[in-house]
Amino acid sequence: MKLPRPSDELSVTTADKRTFLSPISSYILKVASRCNLNCTYCYMYNLGDNSYKQQPVSMSQDVVDAAIAKIAEHASLHGLKTVVLIFHGGEPLLASKDFYREFVSKAKSAFLPNIKPRFVMQTNGTLLSPEWLELFLELGISFGISLDGTPEAHDANRLDHQGRGSYKAVIDALGLVKSDNRYADLFQLNLTVINIESDPLVVYRHLRANGLKGVEFLFPDGTYDHLPPGKTLNGEETPYADWLIPIFDEWFDNPNTDYRIRLFDNIMRLVFGSRFSTSDIGGNKNGYVVIETDGGIEPVDSLKVCGEGFTKLGINVTQNKIDDIYDSPLAQSFIAGADSLCETCKRCPIVDVCGGGYMPHRYREENSFDNPSLYCKDLMKLIAHIQEKVLMNLPVKLRQSLKLATLTELTENNSSVQPQVTVIT
């Protein structure tokens, strides 16, 4: 396994790491390392890393106890007032209801009153039932459900181990959530992996009609060595921007603003100078890690697409402190966000918006992460389009007072002007 070569900025002493790198405030807890689905694009099982086979099927109480203790220790050390605990997998509903009752009880005992724990779950939805929803209410667990759109788009990839589609089970689960406002209040967003073979507007309208609060569109995971659908090493094609732009236009022009698309929201905020970001856009430091079923402390789980055992750092909550992750060059690069980007990205005029994209998408075996994102051109095209659309909808006098010109206005006056993005501050 080749590890990233940290930049000079990342070559800090052990004593400096706590101040240079973000404290860890969010934890992805792999409470189950198996799944009842077998999605074709899954980074856990189907993109080249089989290390899950060496791990326990579920998280033991010994690991739970150690994880809670080490998280509480880290939060106290760094003065955190809130921690986010994200139940994940595999499929987290493969764990028992008693597991969650005990986990939440132990966490509250360890954290309160000085640290507030927030509980979240990401589920494929196929095992959701009224009993599970009542448990979420009892324990205060908010949740999101994965849905890739229409039956055809969803069942193209989200299959069970017998090759059967999971769309109907997911739609039935969303029906349960919508049946009671108490459940709906806990719901976060649908997660949707982009399928460029599908019709974007048909997918968007289907999600909006069947969803609740909104959607998070995800680019399929891949690397330069294992390209996702529609991408080539040439990198000039923009099928994902071309898929997203019609959705943005229809969503932006809809006067009903109660449906959120997180990617678009974040780009608009960043274009106007916000420093808010997520791990796949914006470039701020990342304050989360993964704790596996065996207690292993790891950086973001999607890095599994980079190769067999790539995320294994040799540290574990049963033996190590959370702070020990700062000693890993791989974890340093992920936590540091845009500070660990290649020189091409650092010189790019839109780096403050795209943040270099998602770290796994920059990987190539021959030079590690010293590359722009596979989706660089897609991000450029999408961000430029969103900025143009937003500026065109500002009052002309306001644009003039702020000395902002849209791309259309610039090109009307100068045909040689090339598309670009200027962060508005």
**Average pLDDT per consecutive 10 residues, the chain (425 residues; last block may be shorter):** 38 48 94 97 95 96 98 97 97 98 98 98 98 98 97 98 98 96 95 98 96 93 96 93 98 94 94 84 92 97 96 98 96 92 92 94 96 96 93 81 64 47 48
Residue 7 has what pLDDT? 38
159 found inside a domain: yes
Phi, psi of 103 (to 5 degrees): -60, -50
Which residue(s) pair with 217 in the sheet?
Answer: 192
Residue 46 has what pLDDT? 95
Whole-number Cα distances in Å, 425 to 272, 383, 386, 421: 6, 16, 16, 12
339 found inside a domain: yes
- Interatomic CA distance for residues 12 and 7, integer angstroms: 10
**Does the reported pTM lie above 0.85?**
yes
Structural tokens at position 148: 């890739």
DSSP letter at 158 equals -
Check: CB of residue 285 under 8 Å from CB of residue 271: no
- Interatomic CA distance for residues 179 and 84, integer angstroms: 27
Amino acid identity of 5?
A: R
Check: CB of residue 331 under 8 Å from CB of residue 73: no
DSSP conformation letters of 39-69: -TT-TTTSSS--GGGGS-SB--HHHHHHHHH
Residue 415 has what pLDDT? 41
411 found inside a domain: no
Q: Considering only CA atoms, which of 252, 159, 261, 246 is closest in space to residue 199?
A: 246
- Given strand 116-123, what is the order of strands in its sheet? 260-261, 214-218, 187-193, 141-146, 116-123, 82-88, 26-30, 288-291, 297-298
Cβ-Cβ contacts under 8 Å for 214 (sequence gap 6 or more):
189, 190, 259, 260, 261, 262
117 found inside a domain: yes
Query: Would strands 187-193 and 297-298 be described as parallel, antiparallel, or unpaired?
Result: unpaired
| Structural domains counted in the chain | 1
**Residue showing tokens 């100078």:** 273
149 found inside a domain: yes
- Interatomic CA distance for residues 49 and 38, integer angstroms: 14
Give the CATH number, domain containing residue 45: 3.20.20.70
pLDDT one-digit tens code per residue, 28-77: 999 999 999 999 999 999 999 999 999 999 999 999 999 999 999 999 99
SS3 27: strand
Range(s) of the domain holding residue 155: 22-346
397 found inside a domain: no
83 found inside a domain: yes
Query: Cβ atoms within 10 A of the Cβ of 234, count?
Result: 7
Check: CB of residue 249 under 8 Å from CB of residue 389: yes
- Interatomic CA distance for residues 64 and 317, integer angstroms: 9
400 found inside a domain: no
